[in-house]
Amino acid sequence: MNKKTKTPLFHVAKRGALRWYQAWAIRGAAILLALIVCGVVTSLVTGENPFAVYAAIWKGSFGTPRKMWVLLQNIAMLLCVSLAVTPAFRMRCWNLGGEGQALIGALASAACMILLPGKVPNWAILPCMLLCSLAAGAVWAGIPAFFKAKYNTNETLFTLMMNYVATQLVAYYCVVWESPKGSATIGIINSKTELGWFPVVGGQKYLLNILIVAALCVAMHVYLNYTKHGYEIAVVGESERTARYVGIKVERVVIRTMLLSGAICGLAGLLLVAGTNHTLTPTIVDGRGFTAVMVSWLAKFNPVWMIFTSFLLVFLGRGAGEIATKFGLNHSFGDILTGVILFFIIGSEFFINYQIKLTRGAGKEE
């Protein structure tokens, strides 16, 4: 019998470990390709010169010193939430509730700013805000963690749903504390007294937030890599059974790590309310709880790499806003470009782990 089998021209094979520069060459090529595709899309869809669009994206982040400060501030806030969700992710516990945990932290801070003046000495307001926001975030993450540890509920869904509860709670309190009546907006809290506002450091209103998050980043790096807790998290993430076998109390680690995760999200809420916005809105976290998932994943849960991945996402987002302003393109167009670039970056990881080989003897009859 003369059976014809057709062998595919290519096949995918797992790659051995690449040298670091080879991996980075692939990533670089991916970004280059992404920019070319973005350029083609831009010219085809809008008729604008793609280089002018790139220049605008660059200017969106680096055009003026103020824009650079805003860039740094946005990186800091995104990084803060990303750092918060990372310990849980390392444990393979998918905390998608960063948004709600940060929001509830923001709510706690705003509540202190609104309710405490006159009841406690002024110097005590900021410490109270810190404690309350950390506690609020921790509780918001602790509830799903408790149910996961105790009843093995799905933390992905649970944390996700807690986001909506937090959003509605904040919306409710925006009505309770609204000014003027019926508007459902709070406006700037304590605008005359500035009670509960972070002090301005070095003449730059965003510097303190940036410094806090920088310190947090170092601390998280140390915590995850050089402490017993960090080691336990890594072991639980690798294999729960191994963790149990070596005597790690998995339930305790899950709850403890989620509490930490939530508390840092709460801190992010505090930074947003006390450091920059001085108000509370249901959209104050601005989706960072979800973007943080991508930041953390792209950086392979490495706190230091997360500085770069959060830079990348903020940079693209600011660029999108800039081209909307400069060319009158809809904001969504910037999002399309961001999508193209992320597609290539995530895709490049595939080519770092796998290679496409030309099948020997392809097309020949055997």
Nearer to other proteins, 59 or 221 (CB): 59
Nearer to other proteins, 64 or 152 (CB): 64
Minimum distance from residue 63 beta carbon to other proteins (Å): 6
Minimum distance from residue 174 beta carbon to other proteins (Å): 10
Nearer to other proteins, 175 or 356 (CB): 175
Nearer to other proteins, 2 or 332 (CB): 332
Give the DSSP H or E segment for 10.
Answer: strand 10-14
Between helices 65-90 and 98-115, what is the axis angle to 10°?
120
Minimum distance from residue 324 beta carbon to other proteins (Å): 6
The contact set with other proteins (CB under 8 A) reads: 62-68, 70, 171, 175, 179-185, 187-188, 191, 276-279, 281, 283-284, 286, 321, 324-325, 328, 330-331
Minimum distance from residue 132 beta carbon to other proteins (Å): 21
Minimum distance from residue 204 beta carbon to other proteins (Å): 10
What is the C-alpha separation between 162 and 144, in angstroms, rounded? 8
Q: Which of 91, 160, 138, 124 is nearest to 268 (CA)?
A: 138
CA 234 to chain centre: 20
Nearer to other proteins, 156 or 277 (CB): 277
Minimum distance from residue 279 beta carbon to other proteins (Å): 6
Helix (H/G/I), strand (E/B), else coil: 49: coil
- The count of other CB atoms within 10 Å of the CB of residue 156 is 15
What is the C-alpha separation between 98 and 257, in angstroms, rounded? 13
In angstroms, the Cα distances linking 316 to 155, 209, 311, 322, 359 are: 30, 21, 8, 10, 39
Nearer to other proteins, 153 or 204 (CB): 204
